[in-house]
Amino acid sequence: LAAVTGECARCLKPVSCELDIHIDELYRSGAAEETSETEDCYRFAGWSVDLLPALRDNLVLAIPLRLYCREDCRGICATCGADLNEKPCGCATAGDKANTPFSKLKELL
């Protein structure tokens, strides 16, 4: 298990989640310089194996692109910055009719 912390992509509140990662990698003996670009394995030399590159690669791939505080998070208002999870701000209903880029086209129809 790995803990990931960040901000909600919608409301910017702090969020933490746990990742359950299964790592299954191939290691071969030899110097790291011998690894080619197409080879999909890690190298080790001597009696020690460096697990950090494999761990880092798998953790980066497992982190979600966007974190959310909850699935139904409504985010913040783009106009006034109010948290829409707490209460509606009223900016969306007042600005929808007047400031849309297609309001002139609607008048022509």
Using the Cα atoms of residue 3, residue 6, residue 10 and residue 11 in order, give the sign of their dihedral. Answer: positive
Tokens encoding 16: 């933490």
Say whether both 54 and 87 belong to one domain.
no
Does the pTM surpass 0.85? The reply is no
What CA dihedral angle connects 102, 106, 108 and 109, to 10 degrees? 140
Same domain, 3 and 50: yes
The C-alpha angle with vertex 68 and arms to 65 and 73, in degrees rounded to 5, equals: 140
* Ramachandran bin of 46, using left for φ above 0, alpha for ψ from -120 to 50, beta for the remaining angles: left
> What are the CA-CA distances from residue 88 to residues 9, 74, 77, 84, 93 (Å)?
19, 10, 9, 5, 10
> Is there a single domain that holds both residue 44 and residue 92?
no
Q: Per-residue pLDDT averaged across 87-101, rounded?
A: 66
Confidence of residue 89 (pLDDT cuts 50, 70, 90): confident
Say yes or no: 80 and 58 in one domain: no
Q: 56 and 90 share a domain?
A: no
Please state the rounded mean pLDDT for residues 60-68.
91
Average pLDDT over residues 79-104: 73
Same domain, 56 and 7: yes
> Which pLDDT belongs to residue 66?
92
CA–CA distance, 7 with 13 (Å, rounded to integer): 5
Q: How many domains does the chain have?
A: 2
Q: What percent of the chain lies above the pLDDT cut of 90?
A: 24
Is residue 20 located within the same domain as residue 69? yes
* Residue 103, domain extent: 76-109
| pLDDT over 60 (residue 96) | no
pLDDT category, 70, cuts 50, 70, 90?
very high
Percent of the chain with pLDDT over 70: 83
Whether 33 and 16 share a structural domain? yes
Tell whether 46 and 63 lie within a shared domain. Answer: yes
* 11-61 tens-digit pLDDT: 999 999 998 888 888 888 876 666 566 578 888 888 888 889 888 999 999
